[in-house]
Amino acid sequence: MSGDARNSALTVEGLKVHFGGGRGLLGARPTVHAVDGVSFSVPAGRTFGIVGESGSGKTTTALAVMRLVPLTDGRVTLGDTVVSELEGEALRAARRQFQIVFQDPYSSLDPRKRAGEIVREPLDLMRIGTRAERDAKVAELFGQVGLRPEQRALFPHQFSGGQRQRLGLARALSTEPDLIVCDEPVSALDVAIQAQILNLMARLQRELGLTYLFISHDLGVVQHICDEIAVMYLGQIVEQADRVTLFRDPQHPYTKALLAAVPSVHGARADRRARLRLKGDPPSPVNLPPGCRFASRCPVAEPRCHREAPPLVERGGHRCACWLVGSGEN
């Protein structure tokens, strides 16, 4: 695991989330390996991005960190709190330490509640402060995210998409959490509004010392806001490095193929990466192949890749799971 867990806001070790399994009315149920042994740490005050195609397991990882889906195995630690071991009232009390901003600002806000009530709700549920202190906190939060005080009386449908996501951010900030999980927070917005929200998030991080776990399929977005980036494929991290290193010198064929598909990201190096194109579809997470899970789509795979799963090896802070890295073949 990269980084020193002792200095990390979030530490994830051997995380697994499997759905199904066991026996049903029609016999044995298949097991979906949504997340399959993921480990990483996020230093306090930094942004850790997880990127990958749809179905890679990145959103399930985020939901598992939030304890919104059951963990099959692994350990999630936030500061000194082992979140993965909490249940019931202890888990409810700990939730003020970690909040989430969802992908769709159109469906993640209660349409029957006024904006002020939506932002105030976590404070009420967790009984934080007096009534007057909660009202003052809501007013402060509206200012922090760039909304006007009088907008507290409006309903979600009276806001634009970008304003709704500002509401989501204000709600997430209300409990002064140690970690904010951002699940595709700008993917439902147009490009100009995306930039506004990302810049707002960066400013809030500087001012408040926030720590973000940022989930996205958009390489341009993660390049803009993330300090460290992990690339996931079929439930596993296949590459991880700091932002500059990952975009300047990607190691894994899957990462190279993702970058080759985004001309604006890799610029002049397009000619070198253009040959790495994804082919076919990912294997089923129910019926995983032996060896490297990317081998069936990899343009440079060798026979060994189809037989043996490569470990995630760290070389100078750059982690990669590929037999061909360092061999001169990749």
Domains and CATH numbers, the chain: 5-320 (3.40.50.300)
pLDDT at 108: 82
Structure tokens at 96: 């003020």
- Note whether 188 and 176 are within 8 A (CB): no
CB neighbour list of residue 248: distance below 8 Å, 6 or more residues apart: none
Quickly state the pLDDT bin for 208 (edges 50, 70, 90). Answer: very high
- Note whether 329 and 319 are within 8 A (CB): no
* Higher pLDDT among residues 218 and 276, named by residue: 218
Q: In the predicted model, what is the mean pLDDT of the chain?
A: 90
pLDDT at 7: 67
- CA–CA gap between residue 180 and residue 257 (Å, rounded): 30
Quickly state the pLDDT bin for 60 (edges 50, 70, 90). Answer: very high
pLDDT at 270: 45
Q: In 3D, which of 320, 316, 323, 267 has the Cα closest to residue 295?
A: 323
| Residue 258, SS3 per DSSP | helix
Quickly state the pLDDT bin for 25 (edges 50, 70, 90). Answer: low
- CA–CA gap between residue 47 and residue 61 (Å, rounded): 15
pLDDT at 278: 73
Average pLDDT (68-84) is 96
Is the pLDDT score of 28 beyond 90?
Answer: no
Q: In 3D, which of 64, 48, 56 has the Cα closest to residue 3?
A: 48
CB neighbour list of residue 159: distance below 8 Å, 6 or more residues apart: 115, 151, 167
- Note whether 264 and 191 are within 8 A (CB): no
Average pLDDT (74-91) is 96
Average pLDDT (126-144) is 94
Q: In 3D, which of 126, 159, 123 has the Cα closest to residue 141?
A: 123
> How far is the CA of 201 from the CAs of 19, 192, 196, 276, in angstroms?
33, 15, 9, 33
CA angle 265, 247, 299 (to 5 degrees): 90
Is the pLDDT score of 169 beyond 70?
Answer: yes
Is the pLDDT score of 82 beyond 50?
Answer: yes
pLDDT at 280: 78
